[in-house]
Chains A and B, each alone.
Chain A
Amino acid sequence: MTAYVVRRLLGVLAVLLVLSVVVYATFYLAPGDPARLACGPKCDPEQIRQVRSQLGLDQPVYAQYWHFLTGIVTGHDYSTGTGVRHCDAPCLGLSFQSDQPVTDLIVQRLPATASLAAGAMVLWLVIGIGSGLLSVLRRGGVTERVLTWITLAGTATPVFISGIGLLMLFCAYLEWLPFPTYVPLTDDPEQWAWNLLLPCLALALLESAKYARLTRSSLLETLAEDHVRTFRAYGASERAIVGRHALRGALAPVIALTAADFGSMFGNAMLAEAMFGLPGVGQLLVHATQTIDLPVVVGLVMVTGAAVAIANIVADVLYAVADRRVALR
């Protein structure tokens, strides 16, 4: 197991290296000049040249890339003009635009995205698994039929449609919920929850439909397995069978999918952030991409890439732990 995890983690490192190279390459092909953007709207060529050298952009690409790599391992010192700013070991550089360490920027933005992602995840797991379970327990009834169509419709509703719909309904017409703004959890937990409810719900609707379908199908599948037949043959009740024997096996693919969805989650969270104006990493990324803020973009891609890859490892390990029949190789 340990060897397996170590091997997979090494694979993640390779993946991250490739990702960062791709981002560097992409940015050197992209139009626009980061130095000019950092310099301000009416800079003269001489100033731009100075800023370029200040940002290290006058060095060859491979040197910049090497500088970036060494920063991750050893950290870097940057001149502030009057002194030095130390950027600690997993240093992803300073933002071209605001001279802030990228790690700080990401750490500042993470709570909003994490709140959004975690909130949505809890919602979709609860709603998804709950309705999946319900439709299995009420097999063949009206409940199942209704749930089936609702979830099918749910999977066909992208975030920006459900988002607008929810906004129109709850904020504009009914005025039940506040127009979402991010309130840090540490400031006011209650407001945090109320404000995030809508964006999380918008994100979760799409996903929960998917999870309801998966839970249902994999529950039905485990219910058809031989070991369930054993307990049926010993007089166990349906509830006990589903709850104690089928659900656990059925959840393994749900766990795996949850981790796999971590990646698409970022894409959707980005949309939700753009739609509701939440200060998360998605917004940071969109803005950094538009202003060619290379360190920020590389940093974010590395962090999200690592998160996605590690989530996949966690999924595989959890899956193997949940289902001893699967061997980790």
Chain B
Amino acid sequence: GPKDSGGDAGSADGAGGAPKKGGTLTVLNRAPQKQFDPARLYTSGGGNVPSLVFRTLTTRHRADGAEGTKVVPDLATDTGKPSDDAKVWTYRLKDGLKYEDGSPITSADIKYGIERSFAAELSGGGPYLRDWLIGGESYQGPYKEKKGLDSIETPDAKTIVFHLRKSEGDFPYLATSTQFAPVPKAKDTGTKYAEHPVSSGPYKVVKNTGDGEHLLLERNPNWSEATDKERHAYPDTIDVRSGLSSAVINQRLSTGSGADAAAVTTDTNLGPAELAQVTNDKKLASRVGTGHFAYTNYLAFNPESKPFDDPKVRRAVAYAINRTSVVNAAGGSSLAEPATTFLPNQKPLGHTPYDHFPAGKTGDADKARALLKEAGHPDGLEITLTHSTAANFETGPDVATAVQEALNKAGFKVKLEGLEDNAYEDKVHSVKDQPGLFLAHWGADWPSGGPFLAPIFDGRQIVKDGYNFNAGRLDDAKVNDEIDAINKITDHDAAAKRWGALDAKIGEQALTVPLFHPVYKRLYGKDVKNVVISDWTGVLDVSQVAVK
């Protein structure tokens, strides 16, 4: 899923008093906004900084906690009218929508924006449009195929109709992504569009320099607050500075001198060392928000390779895991929660608690040893754990060594195979070369069980000659049918229950060993007000923040 994080819970209000308009908000980020073309962005819920400039058909509800996982209308009047089988979705645009230059936003612009994202020049977005729209799999974008996509109809300037190949109850969630932002065809400059995209949101791009490193956004006078219930746009100016190290960002946020007092970050977490420091300081601790984002870090098996073809060996691994040391390696109990389910522990995704192979806090080495013996390895078993050498807690060496240590205690002899990040990605996602055991992670593209479970466990999504995410090679007709059935449901709560049940069922096969769900601690400046952290992104929402 997208590298970004998601969130929930304990948001706090910064400095007291009601939020007012005005001032400059500084955003201190690590990753530069290299991609600022709505076609190329791969975001969850329209992203953070991008959603200040791009409005989409629907958007995420800007509210604290679980409320924030709801999808709400943005440019459209509602979240979409599905046909009975959820294969045709119809949207109507609100009245009075304008671009930054005052020209009106039409449904044709939205169609064009989506079509652009099919062009090879503008690759980078999610796979869903291609998979879901009729004709999407072969469409090459408007530069090569002027005719456009027939499966998107614009009967008039305010209506847009999507024709899907199969039932997709989650379509309103997809419509939150930036590909659903309008792009006026006359202003399209292809790959150069990102340098100055035409704003439909509350801010327009004044400056975009250093390959997205410095982004200066100013109020868009033609944005009408009346048509946008979600974004507040309190500050007059938003100054996004990126390319900073996380240490620098957190240090500056905590010191908060000058412009840094009115600063936030949309991509940087508090690291373990910083957390240890912050928790000692009451004032600082009150400026930390906690976020959750649907994410699971797990061990993936290749059940087609020895010795993991034997379920007993896989279960032995599951029993042996010491989740305390794994959680510590990932930054401690404040930054990670031990996981026994594949679905993240969030209701909107349908989380149903289960623990099929209870390992306790520190692993059940005896049980694992017994299982190994049963499987015919009384003298232990030599295995290799593949991980990336990138210095992160997701697939990096820290968690790998923690896993190694626990497995060694349970009779395994674990060899670590650390690969350079690109080599790691290539290898673990290749059906041919996939290692027997490796560190993996998965995040949701939107807060629903579908994008979380389908790519990993849907047998029809095993990709032979490209990136494969179904590492467990599960191709079970019953699972596939259930996925199809849930996708037809447009009632989100009903769907969530069934996703949860499906997860618990698949879990019995021990195709993965869930390790932990990350938790995000976000520090913000001392003058920042109206802090909102939703369970959708896990990040403090820039569109809500005020600095006066």
Q: Which residues of A contact B (CB under 8 A)?
A: 30-33, 36-48, 50-51, 53-54, 78-83, 85, 95, 97-100, 105, 108-109, 171, 175, 178-181, 274-277, 279, 283, 290, 292
Q: How far is the CB of A51 from chain B (nearest CB, A)?
A: 5
For B375, the chain A residues whose CB sits under 8 A away are none
For A279, the chain B residues whose CB sits under 8 A away are 210, 213, 243
Q: Which one of B189, B245, B465 contacts A80 once the chains associate, using CB atoms below 8 Å?
A: B189
For A100, the chain B residues whose CB sits under 8 A away are 211
For A277, the chain B residues whose CB sits under 8 A away are 243-245, 247-249
**Known contacts A40-B125, A54-B121; can you find 12 more A-B pairs with CB under 8 A?**
A32-B420, A39-B123, A50-B120, A81-B119, A81-B143, A83-B189, A98-B35, A99-B121, A99-B191, A99-B192, A105-B211, A181-B248
Bound: A226/B34 CA distance, A? 62
For B40, the chain A residues whose CB sits under 8 A away are 40
CB of B7 within 8 Å of the partner chain? no
For B420, the chain A residues whose CB sits under 8 A away are 31-32
CB of B2 within 8 Å of the partner chain? yes
CB of B501 within 8 Å of the partner chain? no
A85 touches B192 (CB 8 A): yes
For B188, the chain A residues whose CB sits under 8 A away are 81-82
For A81, the chain B residues whose CB sits under 8 A away are 116, 119, 121-122, 141, 143, 188, 190-191
Bound: A85/B190 CA distance, A? 10
Bound: A91/B75 CA distance, A? 42
For A53, the chain B residues whose CB sits under 8 A away are 120
Bound: A36/B192 CA distance, A? 21
Bound: A39/B467 CA distance, A? 12
Residue of B nearest to A95 (CB): B211
CB-CB contacts below 8 Å: B109-127 with A: 116, 119-127
Q: Which residues of B contact A (CB under 8 A)?
A: 1-3, 34-35, 40, 42, 116, 119-127, 130, 137, 140-141, 143, 188-192, 194, 209-213, 241, 243-245, 247-249, 251-252, 255, 257, 419-423, 425-426, 455, 463, 465-467
Q: How far is the CB of A206 from chain B (nearest CB, A)?
A: 21
What would be 17 A-B contacts, judged by CB atoms less than 8 Å apart?
A: A31-B419, A32-B422, A32-B425, A38-B123, A39-B123, A43-B123, A47-B123, A80-B191, A80-B192, A83-B190, A105-B211, A181-B244, A274-B245, A277-B249, A279-B210, A279-B243, A283-B243
A171 touches B251 (CB 8 A): yes
For A41, the chain B residues whose CB sits under 8 A away are 1-3, 42
Q: Which one of A31, A51, A109 contacts B426 once the chains associate, using CB atoms below 8 Å?
A: A31
Bound: A79/B121 CA distance, A? 9
Q: How far is the CB of B452 from chain A (nearest CB, A)?
A: 14
A50 touches B251 (CB 8 A): no
B209 touches A108 (CB 8 A): yes
For A292, the chain B residues whose CB sits under 8 A away are 422
For B241, the chain A residues whose CB sits under 8 A away are 181
Bound: A98/B212 CA distance, A? 9
For B125, the chain A residues whose CB sits under 8 A away are 40
5 closest Cβ contacts across the A-B interface?
A: A32-B422, A80-B190, A81-B190, A277-B245, A31-B423
Q: Which one of A38, A46, A98, A275 contacts B211 once the chains associate, using CB atoms below 8 Å?
A: A98
Bound: A30/B421 CA distance, A? 11
Q: How far is the CB of A31 from chain B (nearest CB, A)?
A: 4
B143 touches A82 (CB 8 A): yes
Bound: A99/B212 CA distance, A? 12
For A95, the chain B residues whose CB sits under 8 A away are 211
Q: How far is the CB of B142 from chain A (nearest CB, A)?
A: 8
Contact A50 B140, CB 8 Å, known A41-B42, A42-B467, A43-B466: yes
Q: How far is the CB of B436 from chain A (nearest CB, A)?
A: 19
Residue of B nearest to A178 (CB): B257
Contact A44 B130, CB 8 Å, known A109-B210, A171-B251: yes
A45 touches B463 (CB 8 A): yes
Residue of B nearest to A109 (CB): B210
A40 touches B124 (CB 8 A): yes
Bound: A32/B426 CA distance, A? 6
For A54, the chain B residues whose CB sits under 8 A away are 120-121, 123
Residue of B nearest to A111 (CB): B210
Bound: A146/B335 CA distance, A? 48
For B245, the chain A residues whose CB sits under 8 A away are 274-277
Residue of B nearest to A55 (CB): B120
Bound: A36/B2 CA distance, A? 15
Q: How far is the CB of B239 from chain A (nearest CB, A)?
A: 12
Bound: A178/B177 CA distance, A? 38
Q: How far is the CB of A10 from chain B (nearest CB, A)?
A: 34
A276 touches B248 (CB 8 A): yes
For B243, the chain A residues whose CB sits under 8 A away are 277, 279, 283
Residue of A nearest to B124 (CB): A40
Bound: A32/B422 CA distance, A? 5
Q: How far is the CB of B263 from chain A (nearest CB, A)?
A: 11
For B426, the chain A residues whose CB sits under 8 A away are 31-33, 36
A44 touches B210 (CB 8 A): no
Q: How far is the CB of B264 from chain A (nearest CB, A)?
A: 16
Contact A82 B126, CB 8 Å, known A37-B422, A276-B248, A277-B244: no
Most A CB contacts (10 A, CB to CB) among B3, B249, B422 go to B422
Residue of B nearest to A100 (CB): B211
Contact A30 B422, CB 8 Å, known A81-B121, A81-B143, A283-B243: yes
Q: How far is the CB of A189 from chain B (nearest CB, A)?
A: 16
Q: Which one of B190, B419, B467 contacts A79 once the chains associate, using CB atoms below 8 Å?
A: B190
B251 touches A179 (CB 8 A): yes
Bound: A310/B127 CA distance, A? 48
Bound: A79/B119 CA distance, A? 12
Bound: A222/B241 CA distance, A? 51
Q: How far is the CB of B197 from chain A (nearest CB, A)?
A: 14
B123 touches A51 (CB 8 A): yes
B423 touches A32 (CB 8 A): yes
B192 touches A98 (CB 8 A): no
Residue of A nearest to B423 (CB): A31
Bound: A42/B467 CA distance, A? 7
Q: How far is the CB of B252 from chain A (nearest CB, A)?
A: 5
Bound: A41/B455 CA distance, A? 13
Q: How far is the CB of A215 from chain B (nearest CB, A)?
A: 35
For B463, the chain A residues whose CB sits under 8 A away are 44-45
Q: How far is the CB of B64 from chain A (nearest CB, A)?
A: 29
Q: How far is the CB of B457 from chain A (nearest CB, A)?
A: 16
Bound: A105/B210 CA distance, A? 7
For B422, the chain A residues whose CB sits under 8 A away are 30-33, 37, 290, 292
Contact A290 B421, CB 8 Å, known A38-B123, A178-B257, A279-B243: yes
Q: Which one of A38, A43, A48, A179 contacts B255 once the chains associate, using CB atoms below 8 Å?
A: A179
